[in-house]
Structure 1
Amino acid sequence: MKIIRVDPDNPEKEKMGMVRDSLHCGKTVVYPTDTVYGLGANVFNEDALLKVYLMKGRPLTKPVSVCVSQVKDIQQIAHLNPEIDDIIKKILPGPYTLILNKKEVVPLLITGGMDKIGVRIPDNSICRELSKEFPITTTSANISGHPSPVSAQEARKDLDDHPDILIDSGPCSGGISSTVVDLTVSPPCILREGAGMEKLLQFME
């Protein structure tokens, strides 16, 4: 495992470029989000996706959410409509996982064979830099069922040296897992309460 220390406020472009290149080639990366540390792989590389599932001991029937860099990137992997688009623009970037109907380009491996996908745009410069060129997985960097890690050290303790790269930028500011909202139904349905609930409820009233 290669450990890279990155400024959380101003991620060094050279370091970010190197990690993106590694992700493009099928490597796995532990990285910070606005909630907890995540385990990243190129969504379009099925060998890399399998590594994520194996590292976490996660059943292949359980989907893994993805991270994109900007709102406009969501339409590459999921179906949107004006109502959904309006909600997304109000709450993202932020600590939310939005369940959307996926497009065919998304491998069924990452969705557990389902036609829906969880999408995140964290309020964190590092993960948004890493996902600038393609979506990456954003499942928590832990063994399935274990507490979600809020630091690089906690992630390494759980996953050992199995990930190829670990980005250490200090503890995550959130520390609470994201709120999960299903936008494929009307009205939207909260599937898991987590960070950002107060703000979300303002838009759902």
Structure 2
Amino acid sequence: MPNFDESIAEAARAVRAGDAVVYPTETVYGLGADATDADAVERIFELKGRAREKPLSVGVPDVATAREYTRPTAFEAEFMEAFLPGPVTVVVARGPDLPDVVTAGGDRVGVRIPDYDVTLEFYRRADRPVTATSANRSGDPSVTNPAQLDAGLRSAVGAVLDAGDTPGGTESTVVDPGRNVIHRRGALADDVETWLTDRADAPPTVDD
């Protein structure tokens, strides 16, 4: 894609300016905003038509950055090191810099570190955690190519970081390793179950 580096820079600038952006991951396209800015996060809920009681995950470029904004236990940090970067959302205790709107007032937050260089570079340049929720209206299918974006959503965001088709197309597995719970089975779900069963001495509870 011509000027792809500038496209990443433009998306990062939009996030820092408080705008929403659409960006690719190794699974599906995400809808991102500055996760430390309550007003920007509210905009994500509005764009998706998402219920406020449903928390959002946040994306960061590496585990070290995740630990700046969250408070994982040693066991949870071990899990993060084992599966991130990768198509897994890891639920851990939130830190004080994430506003209540991100977590629906809860004390835990999902963390995403996609195994996709474009996304990681975007997160690095944004220089703050970015909301990591799928770039679709609530109830609609996930987007694996920007051509599938809802027209109203596309026109409302500050930038669309277009990398063509996403490599995976399957949503991430959402897991709370500290509580030994899988909230959503997705990519690598079997590997996550095996890891938790081996190290937690019991198979995880699966919500879905």
| TM-score, normalised with respect to structure 2 | 0.88
Could you say if the C-alpha distance between residues 123 and 158 of structure 1 is closer, same or farther in structure 2, counting changes exceeding 3 Å?
A: farther
Matches within 5 A, 1:53-202: 53-132=45-124, 133-157=127-151, 159-185=153-179, 188-202=180-194
Alpha-carbon contact 2:33-2:131 (below 8 Å) kept = yes
Q: Could you tell me which amino acid in structure 2 is paired with residue 70 of structure 1? A: D
Structure 2 residue runs without a partner (length 5+): 199-208
Helix, strand or coil: the match of 2:86?
coil
Alpha-carbon contact 1:96-1:180 (below 8 Å) kept = yes
Helix, strand or coil: the match of 1:42?
coil
- 1:21 corresponds to which residue? 13
User: CA separation in 1, counterparts of 2:191 and 2:167?
Assistant: 17
Alpha-carbon contact 1:97-1:179 (below 8 Å) kept = yes
Runs of 4+ in structure 1 off by over 4 angstroms are none
Q: Say which is worse superposed, 14-23 or 120-129, in terms of deviation.
A: 14-23
Using the aligned pairs only, state the percent identity. 33
Q: Say which is worse superposed, 87-96 or 76-85, in terms of deviation.
A: 76-85
Structure 1 residue runs without a partner (length 5+): none
Q: Could you tell me which amino acid in structure 1 is paired with residue 137 of structure 2? A: I
Alpha-carbon contact 1:30-1:155 (below 8 Å) kept = no
Q: Could you tell me which amino acid in structure 2 is paired with residue 136 of structure 1? A: V
- 2:206 corresponds to which residue? none
User: CA separation in 1, counterparts of 2:174 and 2:151?
Assistant: 26
Of the two structures, which has the highest relative contact order with CA contacts closer than 8 Å and spacing of 6 or more? Answer: 1
Aligned residues: 195
Please list the CA deviations of residues 100-132 of structure 1 after superposition, one character each: whole Å capped at 9, or x if unmatched: 111122100111111110100001112211221
- 2:201 corresponds to which residue? none
Could you say if the C-alpha distance between residues 94 and 67 of structure 1 is closer, same or farther in structure 2, counting changes exceeding 3 Å?
A: same
Helix, strand or coil: the match of 1:75?
helix
- 2:204 corresponds to which residue? none
* CA positional deviation for 1:183: 2.5
Note the aligned Cα RMSD (angstroms): 1.7
Please list the CA deviations of residues 62-115 of structure 1 after superposition, one character each: whole Å capped at 9, or x if unmatched: 101110001101111111222111111111100001111111221001111111
Q: Could you tell me which amino acid in structure 1 is paired with residue 69 of structure 2? A: I
Q: Could you tell me which amino acid in structure 1 is paired with residue 142 of structure 2? A: S
